[in-house]
Amino acid sequence: MRHTLPIAPQFYVTAPQPCPYLDGRMERKLFTALQGDHAEQLNNALSKQGFRRSQNVLYRPSCAECSACLSARIRVADFKPSRSQKRAIKRNETVQRDATSPWATEEQYALFRSYLDQRHADGGMADMDIFEFAAMIEETPIRSRVIEYTEETKGERSLRAVCLTDVLDDGLSMVYSFYDPAKASTSLGTYIILDHINIARDAGLPFVYLGYWVPGSAKMGYKARFSGLEVHTDGEWQKLGDPDQYSSDTHPLSTDPIAEQVARISLPDTRPTK
């Protein structure tokens, strides 16, 4: 099934498959290829409209009877750490950050496997081999970084966490992160987000994009604990407000027809300037 705007790119819809966030639901995605000379501009423009990147694809949920998934981002200027988040910073004060080019390593993959096996053994990535992992990290047509978090103990450096991060024109997009499950008690996952907020602030970037927040999903609930959170709903970014006011109920009219969704997508102007 294909839908085309008057100019490139072309948009497609995936076949329905089981939802990874809400039991008993089926998910469907609207997506387009991310390629060519204007990949950077397209990624910037569509990220502002709720799309996410996965390798060379930009996608956004477009489920037939559900609109629970909401793209979420932190407005850096409005963020203030909570007491528990301050404790997370304190518990990870010995962790060091190192930003590198998007290259996959065996050490990263070993940590990735440990993370999946203990926290997401039944998820969609559970069977990912090292070659697929390398593709996830390395296949990016835009400005991306691998941010590694390490810790030195008794003279030995250990990899504790990794985040694949895209650099947008208005923020940082946390594409995928994973960490040592043995360090879960130190709130290392929370710390990675807090550190990205600091990176964005230092770089003068106003937002940190977190992916999707899904009311009713325990997996995604942690995102609502960050102050300054905005969600993309009804075609615009809005302050989250009270998370309990959002519903994950299904309704046959919750999602507009695909052709209407595509028609409302704003594409970047890639015409050469004189």
- Which pLDDT does position 84 carry in this prediction? 96
Structure-block tokens of residue 146: 């691998």
At 128 the pLDDT is 87
Answer yes or no: do 193 and 109 share one domain. yes
Provide the H-helix boundaries in 204-270.
258-263
Residue 270 lies in a domain: no
My answer on whether 31 and 111 are in the same domain is no
Nearest alpha-carbon partner for 174 in 71, 38, 27: 71
| CB hemisphere CA count around 183 (13 angstroms) | 24
What angle, rounded to 10 degrees, do the helices at 130-138 and 106-119 form?
A: 110
Same structural domain for residues 146 and 227? Answer: yes
235 and 103 share one domain: yes
Rg (CA), the chain: 19
pLDDT of residue 271: 64
Q: Do residues 39 and 268 touch, judged by C-beta distance below 8 A?
A: no
Q: What pLDDT sits at residue 267? A: 92
Q: How far, in Å, CA of 226 to CA of 82, rounded?
A: 8
Collapsing DSSP to helix, strand or coil, 74 comes out as strand
* The token pair that represents 183 in the structure block: 């360090």
Q: Give yes or no for a contact between 131 and 28, defined as CB atoms under 8 angstroms apart.
A: no
Query: Token digits for 212?
Result: 């999707």
Q: Is residue 172 part of a domain?
A: yes
d(CA 123, CA 79): 31
Residues 20 and 154 in one domain: no
Q: Does 8 fall in a domain?
A: yes
Same domain for 81 and 44?
no
Is 254 domain-assigned? yes
What CATH number did the domain enclosing 102 receive?
3.40.630.30
Closest by CA position to 74, among listed 213, 210, 229: 229
Q: What pLDDT, on the 0 to 100 scale, is given for residue 7?
A: 47
- Assess if residue 103 is contained within a domain: yes
- Assigned domain for 59 exists: yes
131-150 per-residue burial string, b: 16 or more CB within 10 A, e: under 16:
eebbebbeebbbebbbbbbb
Determine phi and psi for 194, rounding to 5 degrees.
-60, -40
Residue 273 domain-assigned (yes or no) = no
77 alpha-carbon distance from chain centroid: 20
Same-domain pairing of 86 and 153:
yes
Please tell me the predicted confidence (pLDDT) of residue 256.
86
Beta-strand runs (E) in 56-179: 57-61, 70-75, 96-100, 144-153, 156-167, 171-179
Q: What pLDDT, on the 0 to 100 scale, is given for residue 122?
A: 65
Same domain, residue pair 85 and 212: yes
pTM assigned to the model: 0.92
Kindly state the tokens that stand for 16: 């329905």
The reply to whether 230 and 252 lie within a common domain is no
Looking at residue 6, its pLDDT comes to: 42
Query: Which of 173, 203, 179, 8 lies closest to 95, judged by CA?
Result: 179
Structural domains counted in the chain: 2
| pLDDT per residue of the chain (274 residues) written in tens, 0 to 9 | 555 444 468 999 999 999 988 989 999 999 999 988 899 999 999 999 999 999 999 999 999 889 999 999 999 999 999 999 999 999 999 999 999 999 999 999 999 999 988 876 566 677 889 999 999 999 999 999 999 999 988 778 999 999 999 999 999 999 999 999 988 899 999 999 999 999 999 999 999 999 999 998 888 889 999 999 999 998 899 999 999 899 888 888 778 889 999 999 999 887 665 5
d(CA 18, CA 51): 20
Q: What is the span of the domain harbouring residue 24?
A: 2-70+247-263
Q: Does residue 32 sit in the same domain as residue 118?
A: no
Q: Are residues 205 and 98 in the same domain?
A: yes
Closest CA to 136 of 170, 166, 91: 166
Residue 227 in contact with residue 79, Cβ under 8 Å? yes
Q: In this structure, are 128 and 49 located in the same domain?
A: no
